[in-house]
Amino acid sequence: MMKLSLGPILWFWSKQTVFDFYAKAAEWPVDTIYLGEAVCSRRRELKPDDWFDLARDLKACGKEVVLSTQTLIESEADLRRLRRICDQNEFLIEANDQSAVQVAIRHHIPFITGPSMNIYNVATLKVLAKQGLKGWNLPVELGKDTLEQLINGLKQEGLELPAEVFAWGFLPLAWSSRCFTARHYNLPKDNCEFRCLEHPDGMELRSRESQELFRLNGISTLSGSRYDLMRELPAMDRMGVGTVRLSPEHQGMEEVVRRFDQVRRGGVPATDPLQLVEAPPCNGYWYGKPGMDLVAD
C-alpha cells in the first residue's frame, strides 16, 4: 500500500500550534512525517532541540520521521542550522537544496530529496543514489507522464528509489531573498515583526479581476489554488508511487488525511476533501497543463 506523508509545515505557526498539530497527527493514519523549518531562517518558534524532541515523540508513536532542511540557504547561520540537523544518526533528512545533500554526504546520513530539488531525469537520480539517496519527491511542475518514465527508468536500472508525489495543498512554487509579507507591511525583512504568524495560510495574491493566483508566505510564493490529486491515487498506485504527500494546513487536516487514507485503501469518499480554507482546486501539472488548470475526470 502507498504510504501517506505529511510534508513540512510551510507556514509560520506559533510553537503551541505546531505542538498541538503534531499531537493530533500522531493519531492520524499517516506513515511519514516531515519536521522542521523549510522556508525562512527567521522562523524560530521551535529551536532545533524542540524539533528533535518532537521527532523522537512521533517516532515513539510509530511514525517514520524525516527532518526537513531550509530550501534557500543564504548565510553561514543557515549552514550552521543545516549542520545541526545533520549532526545525528536517528533520522533521515529531506534535502531541499544541494547544500543539504553535501552536508548529508559528509555526515553519512541517508537523505530524501524534497520537491524543490530538480530531479528531471534518471541520470540525476543515479548520481544521487551513489551518494545516499533513499527516496525522492517529484518536482511539483512535472506530471504523470514524466513520473511514469522516471519510475520505469529506475526499474530498468535496477534502482530501488521510491517516488513521492505532492498530492494535496498549496504548491510551493518559488523562493526569494525578498520577504513578500514584510514588503506588504512596508517592513524591512530583518525587522519583519514576524507578521507571517498572522497569516497561518499565507496571504492571497489576486489579479485585479479577483482571480486567485498565488499565496504569499514570507520569502516563498505558493499556488493560489489548492493542488488536489486525490482522484489520481489509483493511477499512482498502479504506477508504483511509494508515498503520497499532503501539505499541512492548520484546519481540517485530519479530515483530509482520513479521506486520502480511505482512497489509498480502495475506498471512494462521497465528497472531495473539505475545503476549510476557501480556495479553488487545481491539478493541471499532473496532466502536463498549466499548474493552475483544473482538468475534469
Of 119-178, binders to another protein (CB under 8 A) are 120-128, 131, 139-142, 145-146, 149-150, 153, 171, 173-178
Taking the C-alpha atoms of residue 256 and residue 116, their distance in angstroms, rounded to an integer, is 23
Q: In this complex, which beta carbon is closest to another protein, that of residue 106 or of residue 265? A: 106
Asked if residue 105 binds another protein (CB under 8 A), the reply is yes
Size of the site for another protein (CB under 8 A): 71
Q: In this complex, which beta carbon is closest to another protein, that of residue 149 or of residue 251? A: 149
CB of 259 within 8 A of CB of 269?
A: yes
Q: Which helix (H) or strand (E) holds 112?
A: strand 111-113
Asked if residue 205 binds another protein (CB under 8 A), the reply is yes
Asked if residue 75 binds another protein (CB under 8 A), the reply is yes
Q: In this complex, which beta carbon is closest to another protein, that of residue 49 or of residue 209? A: 209
Taking the C-alpha atoms of residue 210 and residue 220, their distance in angstroms, rounded to an integer, is 21
Please, what is the minimum distance in Å from the beta carbon of residue 174 to another protein? 4
- Grid cell for residue 64: 517514520
Asked if residue 116 binds another protein (CB under 8 A), the reply is yes
Asked if residue 68 binds another protein (CB under 8 A), the reply is no
Q: Residue 217 pairs with which residues in a beta bridge? A: 220
- Grid cell for residue 25: 497527527
Please, what is the minimum distance in Å from the beta carbon of residue 279 to another protein? 14
Taking the C-alpha atoms of residue 171 and residue 202, their distance in angstroms, rounded to an integer, is 12
Asked if residue 290 binds another protein (CB under 8 A), the reply is yes
Please, what is the minimum distance in Å from the beta carbon of residue 290 to another protein? 5
Asked if residue 183 binds another protein (CB under 8 A), the reply is yes
Taking the C-alpha atoms of residue 252 and residue 16, their distance in angstroms, rounded to an integer, is 17
The binder of another protein chosen from 21, 31, 57, 79 (CB under 8 A): 79
Q: In this complex, which beta carbon is closest to another protein, that of residue 207 or of residue 251? A: 207
Please, what is the minimum distance in Å from the beta carbon of residue 224 to another protein? 9
Asked if residue 229 binds another protein (CB under 8 A), the reply is no
How far does CA 251 lie from the centroid of its chain? 17
169 Cβ contact list (under 8 Å, min separation 6)? 7, 10, 226, 227, 246, 247, 248, 249
Asked if residue 103 binds another protein (CB under 8 A), the reply is yes
* Strand intervals (E) in 77-139: 92-95, 111-113, 133-137
- Grid cell for residue 246: 499532503
Please, what is the minimum distance in Å from the beta carbon of residue 12 to another protein? 17
The phi and psi torsions of 98 (rounded to 5 degrees) equal: -70, -20
**Pattern 270-289, another protein, x by CB under 8 A:** ---------------x--xx
Taking the C-alpha atoms of residue 108 and residue 102, their distance in angstroms, rounded to an integer, is 10
